[in-house]
Structure formats: structure tokens, C-alpha cells
Chains A and B, each alone.
Chain A
Amino acid sequence: MSGAPLTVRRPRPPRQPMPHQAAAARVTNFCEVALGLTPELAQAEAERCLLCRKPLCVEGCPVGIDIPGFIARMVKGDFEGAARTLREATDLPAVCGRVCPQETQCEKVCVVGRKGEPVAIGRLERFVGDWARTESSAPPPSLPMTRPERVAIVGSGPAGIAAAGELLRRGYRVTIFEALHEPGGVLMYGIPEFRLPKEIVRYEIQQLRRLGAEIRTNALVGQTVTVEELLGEGFGAVFLGTGAGLPILLGVPGEHLNGVYSANEFLIRINLMKAHDFPRHHTPVFVGRRVVVVGGGNTAMDAARVARRLGPEKVCVVYRRSRAEMPARAEEIAHGLEEGIEFFLLTAPVKLLDRGDGWVRGMECVRMELGEPDASGRRRPHPIAGSHFVLDAETVIVALGNNPNRIVPETTAGLDVTPRGTIEVDVDGATTKLGVFAGGDNVTGGATVILAMGAGKRAAAAMDEYLRGQRDGRAVAKATRVGIEEN
């Protein structure tokens, strides 16, 4: 009467909770919202990993981090080793652990996630990145400059950092050109402090310097120096990681009114210029009693949550489609809701209303309904006749994405752009101009930090091959990827 022996399967422990700053407290400060795992929580979370032999998560990672490899070292308590494993594939673990959309990448395909919640790969990456920064005593690896060529990296955002790191590891002399006064690109001017402390970005930039990168700030390539001149001045190859450019505005009457900002301007004023600390910092920003943010992406969430922290009575987000189509990460939307941000979904702006003195007093909106899918595969919104209403606002922030910056294409002969203005590249990031490579938002349009890093890393490998005479120095076949639209 004895049945088959029961296989004893230990129930997999649930995902370890991430400590957070309470919503009521955090809307009064710019400190980080997610506080990070303790070593104990991190190790417990690491133990949830099955350490798959054919890990799907690695395929889901745009920079191909050996995820089971670093987690296995965490399980053993070897955080130093885990940090080393991460560094082989990424220059920004503490950044990506915070801002990557893991739920659509590594964690989406995690086998543990098939029954229950996936391993919190992003939180583990963040833990190791933070640990390496604050606890590790290991000196940065010394990278011999084995290659005679110098390479120029244009832009010090995620794409440029990844390309620079990869080229340094391959033995090249790297010079990074940054237009702003502080390196880091979107990590500095775009992503707010409470999502990504600037201390981390500065540390990562410092690491690049310690690895041998030279960084020239206040150097706008195309104006201060041209790509052609860089190639003529002894740079063997140039990587363009110039990011996104001018904001897309509403295109409705009233966008010139005072109190109307692009998300770019609003975030630059605060993240880079510290306008929230006016007048101690000299750059001003105006936030009225009621703030309306237009858009449904991560930038819209960032702008709304930054505005929330500047003390208005009300912050609303207006988005023309439904929650399902919002490109913002679910976590960011949830954080916004917790912080009291109101959402007007299926709502579109019609015009901005003038107070009578050139300042905005509100936004006329119309309700929308979803129809047939459009080119992006999302259902196209249509206005509902007679559903107009007015949202009062003294501050309106427009977060509808960016058009590509024109400065480099306009000043570089032979560098082809697409009809949208993004730079034409082949799958490896080679452009139509000899020796010039590109990657990140200037190729894809507005996308993510990690996709830009992936593009930078791929282009760096191609630049290496080109400089060794193993591949063509220009695009073989055009294969520009379609970017992710923000609106």
C-alpha cells in the first residue's frame, strides 16, 4: 500500500520586500524613495534564484550580464566577486539596478516568475552596485593602454559611458566630450534625485576617470569642435552618444504662455541647476498651486513627482490613452499614485488658457475613447464630441518626448539621418560616415538607459574591430531600429 515516494519540494520563499520611504514623508524631500535591500535581505533574495544552467534572464538583458553568475556569488556572501561579475558587462550596476525596466527584461523571463514573483534581479544588481561603491576595498582594475589609437566619445550619458568603458577595457585611449558643465547626460539632468541619487552618477563618472578616460565638459561637438576635426586631430574613431534633443511641444494654442514648461526644461532646472533650492541656487522655477503634466511615459512620471515635492496643492497627469497603454513603468505609476498624483486618462489637451497677462491659468481638455490599433499597435484615441472641460493650472509640464538634436548631423558631412532625424546606423552602430559610430536615443528616439548602454557597448566592439582592420568603418546595411514612442 505504499504509494510513490513524495518529492519534497520546498516552497519557494516569497520575494523579499524592498524598504521604501513612506509616501507622506517623501513628498517633502528629494531623498531616494526605494531604500535598498540590507545584506541579509539581499542574500535571502539571491537564494530564491534557481541558477538556471540555460538562463533566460541573460538573454533578456540588453548588456548580457551573467545574472546567475553574480547571484551565485551573492548566495555565498561573496559580494566582491558579484561586483566583479557585474563589472564585466556593465559600467553602471547601481544605476541600472534602479532605473532599468526589469519587469520587461530579465525579470519578465525569470523561471521563478512562472509561479509567483520573479527573482528581484534589479534590486540585487542595485545592492551589489551600492555595496561596491560604499563597502568594497578593491582598487579599480588597472587597464593597460594596449592600443595606439585614441577614440572620441561624444556625450557622457548612458550610451557614451558604456562605449567609453568598453573601449577602455579594450585598451584604447578615450576622450569624452560633454556639452553641459557636468558629465552624466540624462542621468544628471533628466532622472530625479529621488530615483537616482546624483552621488551615484558622480561616482560612476569618477570610476571612468580612474580607468583612464579624459572628460572635457563645456564642449559641444558640432560647435566647439566638429566631428570632422576630431577625426583629423588624431581620433581614430568617434562614437556619437548625443541623446535626445529638442522637446516635442503640445502643438495647441498657448504653448508660449509663461508657466508652460517642457519636461526637459523643468527637469533640467531642478535636477541639474537645483532650482528647488532657489534662491540659494540662482536658477528659478515656477510651480503654482496646481500643476498639470501631459504625457504617460517615465519622464511624465518624473516631472509630476518632482512637481509634487515642490509643494503644490494638486498635481495631475493627463494622458490621451488608457492606463494599459502608458509607457511608464508600473512601479513609477504606483509611486505617483501613492504620492497623491491624480490621473486623467483618456484625456487630451485642446488648448492652454491665458490668465490675461501671458501666464497660463488652465488647460482645456477633451475626453477620448480608444478605436482601432494604430501604427504603434496601440489603440488610437478619438475625441468624444461635447466632452470638453477645463483643468485649472498655473504650471503645465509637457512630457511628450523629444526630437533628435540636429547639431551633429547638420555639421557633419556624410552622416545620414532618417526622415525622423535620427542617425542612420547598421546593426553594430556604424553610421554612413567612415569611422563614426552612434547609439542611444539619437538613433532610436526616446528609449531607456539600458538600451542606450547596450547600443554603446555594441558600437564599441564594432569600433574595436574597425580599428583593427577587421570590419568596415561605415554602415554595411542600414538597420535602424524603431524606437519607443513616449506619447
Chain B
Amino acid sequence: MHRIIFKESLAPGVTRYRVRAPDVARRRKPGQFVLLRLREEGERFPLTIVDSDSEEGSITLIVQEVGVSSALMARLNPGDAILDLLGPLGRPTEIRRHGDCVCVGGGIGVAPLYPIAAALTAAGNRVTGILGAREQRLLILEEEMRRVCADLHIATDDGSSGTRGLVSDLLRDRLRQDDRYAFAAVIGPVPMMKAVCAVTKEAGIPTIVSLNPIMVDGTGMCGGCRVSVGGETRFACVDGPEFDGHRVDFDRLALRLKGYHHLRECALQALGPREAKAPQ
């Protein structure tokens, strides 16, 4: 059992937790994730480890409410426990000294991006951050990113913060203004990753993306998290979650992510109104 130590709301429907998991906290590296199961009837679902505190023996997780498990997670409070927590899983980000790097995050994708940006900076890189969200109040980890990035740019769909538009356009602008990057890390919704990777490919910037396909066991058994990378089938849980952004088939990934959308409402309704919606 893994006790929740701390909880705070970051944006509507987005919550940050610190959870006691000393073994994971001690050895996790940027880019890795954990698998959670909240109760006996619960699903197994992956969450990226955003941060860790080995002294407190805790890891930081950020959850956006999208389905049954995230709705149930939103109901948990400090003192409550998570039934099962497995990790750290996946391959850590390969942190090297590239020089100038750009980290592009969209929406909830800023959560897994933050530890990578922090590690790149710690390794002596100069990191530019580009964050995007639909609107200002949905922007997360702006302060944290500002701390680990040499400079930070923001784009929102409605212009309520930073420039109005998409992060891919913002990146293209930076490149036009003669910004040069030796490495890019891009994490966010699939269409955003696809658009940004098209820009970095054109500019010849080696790019990694972190993928979040549907997973069941997370240990290299079920093959549910298969993705197509450079025409080859790879498994996000053991080969990933990070892959060469220029070789990922994002369209296939987008279709696979929709595999159970038609059942989501049914599952939420079965939870009942009391559990389906967390008090805001």
C-alpha cells in the first residue's frame, strides 16, 4: 500500500500528488513511469514519474481526469492509499550533453517533460522550454519549467497566455529567428507531437517523444502497448516509452488510443455519480 502524502490541484481536472514509494523514489530516472491499480476491481494504468524525493521516499505523479481510473484517483486524498504501485518501468531518457536543447510540451504532456528538461539542464545543456495549452488556466508546471529552462516560451490556443497559436508554430518561429537546437524532447497529445516532429524533422533536429499507449501489465507480456516505429513493431513498456519522434507512426497511435473510447461513458456511469466526479 502506498500512502498519498500530498495533493494539490494544478488546473481544472489536473491534480498533483506525492505518493510514498521509497523503492521507486530511490532508483527512478527521468523518463520512467509507474503502473497503478487503485482497488480490487481497478485497471492497471501507467503514469510518468514527474519527480522524486528519496529522503521523503516519495514520487510525484500528475493525473488528468479522463476516464474511470483517473476519476477514482481524483477522489483520493492525503492519507488514502494506492493499492498497487509497480515501478520504475520503461527505459530512462538517454541524457547526454547536446548543447542547445528544446523541450516542447503540450497540455498534460508537460508533466513527463519536466524531469527530462531538468535532467538535460543538470547535464550541462542549455534548455529552451516551449509549453502549450488550450488556455492559460490549463497550463501546468510553468514555474517549475521556468526554473530548469534557460528560457521559456508559451503558446495558448486563445492567446490567454504567451503567443496565440500552437507550439509547433512557436517552434517554427524560434527556428526562423535563428534559434539552433541539437536535440528536442517533445511530449503532449498525439496531434501536437506529430506537428512538432514534422517541424524538427524539417530542421534536422534529433527528436525523442514519450508515448503513452494503452497498457495492461507494463512488464513486457501483453503487447497491448505496441507502436509502429520506422515500420517496426515496438513495445512502449519495455522498448520505450521514448522513441525517435521522426519514425513514430502517430496516426496509428491515435487510432489505437481510441480503442476503448466507446466504453468510457458506460464505465463512468457504472461508477455512480458519487465516485465519477471529484469535488472541485
Mark A residues whose CB is within 8 Å of B.
Answer: 179-181, 189, 217-220, 223-225, 244-247, 249, 255-259, 261-262, 264-265, 268-269, 273-274, 278-284, 286, 357-358, 402, 405-407
| Interface segment out of the listed B52-60, B83-91, B95-103, B178-186 | B83-91
A224 touches B223 (CB 8 A): no
Q: Which residues of A contact B235 (CB under 8 A)?
A: 246
Asked if B224 and A284 make an inter-chain contact with CB atoms under 8 angstroms apart, the answer reads: no
Closest-by-CB residue of A relative to B253 is A256
**What is the distance, in angstroms, from A94's C-beta to the closest C-beta of chain B?**
24
CB-based contact B219/A258 at 8 Å: no
Query: Are the CB atoms of B223 and A284 closer together than 8 Å?
Result: no
Inter-chain CA distance A257–B252, complex, in Å, is 8
A281–B223 Cα distance when bound, in Å, is 21
Beta-carbon contact of A265 and B256 below 8 Å: no
The A contact surface, by secondary structure, is loop
Instruction: Please give, as numbers and ranges, the residues of chain A lying within 8 Å of B256 by CB-CB distance.
Output: 256, 258, 358
Q: Per-residue 0/1 for B84-121: is the Cβ within 8 Å of any A Cβ (1 yes, 0 no)?
A: 11111100000000000000000000000000000000
A282 touches B226 (CB 8 A): no
Complex contact B69–A282 (CB within 8 A):
yes
Stretch at the interface among B12-20, B129-137, B140-148, B260-268: B260-268
With A218-B84, A225-B23 known to touch, is A279 a contact of B221 (CB < 8 Å)? no
Beyond A273-B216, A279-B263, A284-B263, whether A224 also contacts B86 by CB under 8 A is yes
Q: Is the CB of B216 within 8 A of A407?
A: no
B residues 202-217 touching A (CB-CB < 8 Å): 216-217
**B86 is contacted by which of A220, A265, A358, A407 (Cβ under 8 Å)?**
A220
B216 touches A283 (CB 8 A): yes
8 Å CB contact of A406 from B69, B238, B263, B270? B238
- Which of A220, A249, A358 contacts B233 (CB under 8 A)? A249
| Shortest CB distance A228–B (Å) | 13
Enumerate 8 A-B pairs (CB-CB under 8 Å) in ascending A order. Answer: A179-B217, A258-B258, A262-B224, A268-B222, A273-B43, A279-B266, A283-B44, A284-B267
- CB-defined contacts of A282 to chain B, threshold 8 Å: 41-43, 68-69, 267
Is B228 among interface residues, defined by CB-CB distance under 8 A? yes
Contacts A268-B216, A286-B263 supplied; 7 other A-B pairs, CB < 8 Å: A217-B84, A223-B88, A224-B88, A265-B224, A357-B255, A358-B252, A407-B220
Nearest-neighbour CB distance to chain A for B129, whole angstroms, equals 29
- Are B255 and A218 in contact, CB atoms less than 8 angstroms apart? no
Whether the pair A269, B216 counts as a contact (CB closer than 8 A) is yes
Structural contact, B219 and A179, CB atoms closer than 8 A: yes
Contact across chains for B86 and A286 when beta carbons are under 8 A apart: no
Please give, as numbers and ranges, the residues of chain A lying within 8 Å of B217 by CB-CB distance.
179-180, 189, 268
B260, A220: Cβ atoms closer than 8 Å: no
- What residues of chain A lie closer than 8 Å to B228, measured between beta carbons? 256
**Distance (whole angstroms) from the CB of B270 to the closest CB of chain A:** 4
B87 touches A284 (CB 8 A): no
Secondary structure dominating the interface of B? mixed
Once the chains are docked, how many angstroms separate the CA of A24 from the CA of B159? 63
Q: How many interface residues does chain B have, given as a range?
A: 35 or more
Give the shortest distance, in Å, between A31 (CB) and chain B (any CB). Answer: 20
Pick from A259, A264, A406: contact of B222, CB under 8 Å: A264
In the bound complex, residues from chain A placing their C-beta under 8 Å from that of B220 are: 245-246, 405-407
Decide yes or no whether B279 CB sits under 8 A from chain A: no
Chain A residues with CB below 8 A from B269, complex form = 279
Say yes or no: A407 contacts B238, CB within 8 Å: yes
Given known A-B contacts A246-B223, A284-B267, A407-B219, A220 and B259 have beta carbons under 8 A apart: no
Please tell me if B139 contacts chain A, counting CB pairs below 8 Å. Answer: no
Q: How far is the CA of A249 from the CA of B24 in the complex (A)?
A: 32
- Check B37 for interface membership: any CB of A closer than 8 A: yes
- B68 CB, nearest partner CB in chain A, Å: 5
CA distance A247 to B225 in the complex (A): 11
A302 to B213: give the CA distance in the assembly, Å. Answer: 26
Interchain CB contact under 8 A, A224 and B255: no
Interface residue ranges of B34-49 to A (CB < 8 Å): 37, 41-44
Q: Which residues of B contact A220 (CB under 8 A)?
A: 86-87, 89, 219
CA distance A362 to B89 in the complex (A): 35
Q: Contact: B263 with A224, CB < 8 Å?
A: no
B69 neighbours in A (Cβ, 8 Å): 282
Report the Cα distance A218→B256, complex, angstroms. Answer: 27
Bound complex: CA of A279 vs CA of B267, how far in Å? 5
- Closest residue to B249 on the A side, CB-wise? A256
Contacts of B43 in A (CB 8 A): 273, 282-283
Q: How far is the CA of A305 from the CA of B84 in the complex (A)?
A: 30
Q: Which chain B residues lie closer than 8 Å to A268 at the CB level?
A: 216-217, 221-222
CA distance A179 to B216 in the complex (A): 12
Chain A residues with Cβ under 8 A from B86's Cβ? 179, 181, 218-220, 224
CB distance from A423 to the nearest CB of B (A): 15
Contact B266 A247 (CB under 8 A): no
Contact B41 A280 (CB under 8 A): yes
* Contacting residues, chain A, for B263 (C-beta < 8 A): 278-279, 284, 286
Q: Which of A181, A223, A262, A278 contacts B267 (CB 8 A)?
A: A278
Q: How far is the CA of A256 from the CA of B224 in the complex (A)?
A: 9
Known contacts A246-B223, A258-B258, A265-B224; decide if A273 and B23 are in contact (CB<8 Å).
no
